[in-house]
Amino acid sequence: MDAARTENHGSPLTYADAGVSLAAADEMEDRIGPIVRRTYGPRVLPSHGAFAGLLRLDYDEKLFARNYRHPILVACTDGVGSKLLVAMQARRYDTVGIDLVAMNVNDLVCCGAEPLLFLDYVAVHKLDPAHVATLVEGIARGCEEAGCALLGGETAEMPDLYRRGHFDLAGFAVGAVERDRLVTRDLVRPGDVLIGLPSSGLHSNGYALARKVLLGPAGHALDAHLRVLGERLVDALLRPTTIYVRPVLDALRAYRHKRLITGLAHITGGGLPGNLPRILPPDCGAVVRRGSWPVPRIFALIERLGVAEEEMYRVFNMGVGFVLAVRPKSAAAVERRLRRSGQEPAVIGRVRAGRGEVEVA
């Protein structure tokens, strides 16, 4: 009699005995297949059941009049962070998949790249096919909004690694940009106007601090309706990250070839002071004017509960999720273009001579 039979009193051990369900994995595949295929465009080649997804670079009848001539591939990866803990606590999983896509494609477009494909990694304590399908549905919605294919992914059931009810998400995006349309910091110069695009709230950054302040011992119940917010706290905290891809690409196609849009910044962890320096040349700084854009109520609530204003700007986006640096003579035209794309842009500051510092005045 072998060791496995001896330890299990004569019955052979199975994967299910170790906490992993192959049947649940098969059910999950059946559920998410149609969701994933919904994101496919004409670039995606059929590869059902293959070990990897396939995508061509030479054709897209919806977006391009010609093929790429000198494509530069652009790639990035990111997650959702401790915002997932709010989703777990609320048992609400329909929006964090959108966050996952947004955190990646918003970075990608800062190079001027069109997102082409997205890959996801979902790790769970116990595989619940309906739960995973809800997560993937959100990821697919994000991909549709960004115009990219959810080309593949991986779901891992690891009961020994994750606590009951816990899960994690990671995302990976790949895009392409013509070499002569690549956005780099070398074009930014003093006098350029900074145009901010509004965030939907916290997006997916600063949740360690936000949770400590809002949900800690002196905070509020997650399902409480707060007059200062005009909504339930859970709705404010789980509002998904805005995806800026389509309006930004539209503006780039109209003005980048004239070198009038000079820099693009996704405002994530570190806020405006931490992210604007990433698009500034060594001889430039920037000044951002408080009060030049509307600040969502959630930030005022966090500050009122004990976070200093300077720390607020160092941690959170404070209502600005994306920034375009634009030549002064074209700022009004770029704003009009962004409004036609459904955005509400605001001039929030200017580039000036400096050494990479950003002053919020």
Q: Which of 181, 196, 224 is the last residue of a domain?
A: 181
Nearest partner of 151 among 315, 278, 39, 291, judged by Cα: 39
> Average of pLDDT values for 52-56?
83
Same domain, 238 and 334: yes
Tokens of 176: 């392409």
Residue 42 backbone phi and psi in degrees, to 5:
-70, -15
| Number of structural domains in the chain | 2
Q: Is there a single domain that holds both residue 155 and residue 193?
A: no
CA distances from 270 to 10, 81, 121, 314 (A): 58, 14, 25, 5
Strand pairing report for 149-157 and 284-288: unpaired
Residues 140 and 156 in one domain: yes
Residues 208, 156, single domain; the answer is no
Boundary-marking domain end, from 126, 156, 181: 181
User: Which CATH number is 305's domain given?
Assistant: 3.90.650.10
What are the pLDDT digits (tens) for 200-228? 999 999 999 999 999 988 789 999 999 99
Six-digit token pair at 47?
Answer: 């590869």
Residue 148: which of 248, 30, 32, 246 has the closest Cα?
246
- CA-based nearest residue to 81, from 213, 268, 317, 277: 268
Domain-terminating residue out of 149, 181, 213? 181
- pLDDT over 90 (residue 169): yes
Tell me, what's the pLDDT at 320?
98
Kindly state whether residues 164 and 202 are assigned to the same domain.
Answer: no
Taking 60 as the threshold, does the pLDDT of residue 2 lie above it? no
Identify whether residues 115 and 224 lie together within a single domain: no
**Do 177 and 191 sit in the same domain of this protein?**
no
Give the type of residue at 68: Y
The per-residue pLDDT for 28 is 60
Q: 204 and 175, same structural domain?
A: no
Q: Report which of residues 8 and 252 the model is more confident about.
A: 252
Asked if residues 307 and 218 have their Cβ atoms less than 8 Å apart, the reply is: no
pTM of the model: 0.90
What pLDDT sits at residue 218?
A: 74
The 10s digit of each residue's pLDDT in 70-79 is 889 999 999 9
Q: What percent of the chain is predicted at pLDDT more than 90? A: 72
Which residues, including other chains, have CB under 8 Å from residue 171's CB and lie 6 or more apart? 77, 78, 79, 100, 101, 103, 104, 118, 119, 120, 121, 139
CB 83 within 8 A of CB 203: no
- Residue range of the domain that includes 290: 185-360
Q: Are residues 243 and 288 in the same domain?
A: yes
Residue 292 has pLDDT above 70, yes or no: yes
Q: In which band, very low, low, confident or very high, does the pLDDT at 37 lie, cut at 50, 70 and 90?
A: confident
Which CATH number belongs to the domain containing residue 29 in this structure?
3.30.1330.10
12 and 78 belong to one structural domain: yes
What pLDDT score was predicted for residue 4?
Answer: 44
Does 320 share its domain with 230?
yes
Can you tell me the distance from the alpha carbon of 207 to that of 228, in angstroms, rounded to the nearest whole number?
A: 19
Q: What pLDDT digit, counting tens, does each position of 85-137 carry?
A: 999 999 999 999 999 999 999 999 999 999 999 999 999 998 888 899 999 99
Residues 140 and 244 in one domain: no
Specify whether the backbone of 118 is left (phi greater than 0), alpha (psi in -120 to 50) or beta.
beta
